[in-house]
Amino acid sequence: MQAFDYIIIGAGSAGCVLANRLSEDNNNRVLLIEAGGSDRNPVFSIPLLAGAAYFWKPSNWHYETTPQQGLDGRVIKWPRGKVLGGCSTINGMMYMRGTRRDYDMWRQMGLPGWSYEEVLPYFKRAEHNPERPENRFHGQGGPLHVERAKADNPLYRAFLEAGYDEGMPANDDFNGAVQEGLGGYDFNVLNGRRVSSSTAYLRPVLSRSNLAVWTKTHVLELVMDGRRVTGVKLSRGSAVETIAARAEVILSAGAINSPQILQLSGIGDADRLKALGIDPVLHRPEVGRNLQDHMGVYLKYAASQKVTLFSLFRPDRAIRALTQAYLFGTGPASAVPLEAGGFLKTRPDLDEPDIHMTFVPGLNLETTRAGQGGHGYLISFYQLRPESRGEVHIVDKDPRVKPRMDAAYLSSEFDRQVMRDGVRLAYRIGQNAKMAPYRASAISPLAADMESDSSIDAWVRQSAGTTFHPTGTCRMGADDASVVDAELRVRGIDGLRVVDASIMPMIVSGNTSAPTMMIAEKASDMILGKAPLRG
């Protein structure tokens, strides 16, 4: 039987970070397991192709939700990365940390070490941001390259001016002292190429003799000796084998697969596991619960000027742009078409923003596929801190069967109200006079959709979908019912931690990729017994 000190399951946003940090000490023999394959395909490196990468079959688990009662029974596609780098290899590359309040709330929930001041040093350790001076909020020299959006399309400026005209403040740094306002985003892009956890953390250390990376390898279950994890049972090619872990197994498989692997291994709701023919090892009903996601909508407009991404739909122009981006890292395909937006309050009495709004100088893939076939643009937003909670649970003891995913979107009246208010705010910006030179007509919502609360609710139910941020299904907590403790150790099980977005007790107020890498940076010090970083 092969043996490693640390076995990391999942080479995503967290797993690649852990593989790098845990293998820094040559005495640690580390195995990183990934169900997907290589991330070397050019599709992953070109920023403009991020939208295509979400639905590209070889790199995707192709998950979907159950029919969502709050969305008129629609099933929502949930692409999750199945490739080195995980979701950081297929996402929109937006670098967002969330707010001070997010992490201070974690600390107030009884989780020492997770306040904003305690996690900030790990964001800074990860970061290399040459366009912002090293200061209280930003770091230099880390593996994760961050750069500011160029946002040179005139539509971006029109959108920002419309927002300012509606009384929204300007903001030059959403990861600094204040989150509220509109401006240009920061991205994980370097020389016109995507920066993922794989390109930043894994590729530079692949030559380490104490690090093994196995792709196209599926974990079937954890191997247990009583209530201690001693290894993993996995499928690699045509062989099924067991690999021993001398120190720890670390689950970094994400908000869907981490609870799935726990449940397949007998850690979960005992009655539900017995009904599937699985012998319970530990009754832990919270495994798979507390599922949270950022649900959003697109407000779509037809454009009166030919300055949108539709110009690239002509085959010769598309080939030229993609070639230029791949060979030289320049041109329209070298930028993510999400470069302007911000964090806004839907009501003036709020202490902090409650929605994240983004402008896109083009139409989403679904609209284009439906035959809209013309110049247009989007104003999108999602609710930052939803109250709705769903769950993930296996439906079969066969690891190849996809688990059941119920996001329970809009099951809270609070969430429905925030979406109403957000639609009104986004619509107001879209109708502002600053957008008039570019606005031909509204595609959706139409004026009739904006007439009342009930008509807005109906439009949201028919239009809303995921922004690809599922979290919380292996909740970190101070209470005995939580899945992991403040050190990310699975309660009641020795030799096992969970390190990924599933441990978030409450979803952060922004995109989840950078916070997940921060979690892994911090966890690596915990695992190695190092003193936590100080600011």
Residue 401 identity (one-letter amino acid): V
Q: Kindly give, in sequence order, each residue whose CB lies less than 8 Å from that of residue 85, ignoring residues fewer than 6 positions away.
A: 11, 12, 13, 16, 39, 44, 196, 197, 198, 199, 202
Q: Is 393 a residue of the active site?
A: no
Output the six-digit token pair for 322.
Answer: 């993609």
Q: Where are the beta strands (DSSP E) in 361-417?
A: 376-383, 391-393, 404-406
Output the six-digit token pair for 172.
Answer: 């030059």
d(CA 64, CA 403): 10
Q: Kindly give, in sequence order, each residue whose CB lies less than 8 Å from that of residue 478, ignoring residues fewer than 6 positions away.
A: 109, 110, 111, 485, 486
Q: Kindly give, in sequence order, each residue whose CB lies less than 8 Å from that of residue 449, ignoring residues fewer than 6 positions away.
A: 455, 456, 458, 459
Q: Kindly give, in sequence order, each residue whose CB lies less than 8 Å from that of residue 119, ignoring residues fewer than 6 positions away.
A: 103, 518, 522
Q: How far is CA 84 from CA 40, 203, 438, 442, in A?
A: 9, 10, 40, 40
Q: Which residues sit opposite 184 in a β-bridge? A: 340
Residue 477 backbone phi and psi in degrees, to 5: -160, 165
d(CA 429, CA 426): 5
Output the six-digit token pair for 203.
Answer: 């590729």
Selecting among 294, 356, 375, 469, the annotated active-site residue is: 469
Residue in the block written with tokens 């239009």: 463
Output the six-digit token pair for 427.
Answer: 């619509």
Residue 262: which H helix or E strand, with range?
Answer: helix 254-264
Q: Kindly give, in sequence order, each residue whose CB lies less than 8 Å from that of residue 452, ignoring residues fewer than 6 positions away.
A: none
Active site residues: 469
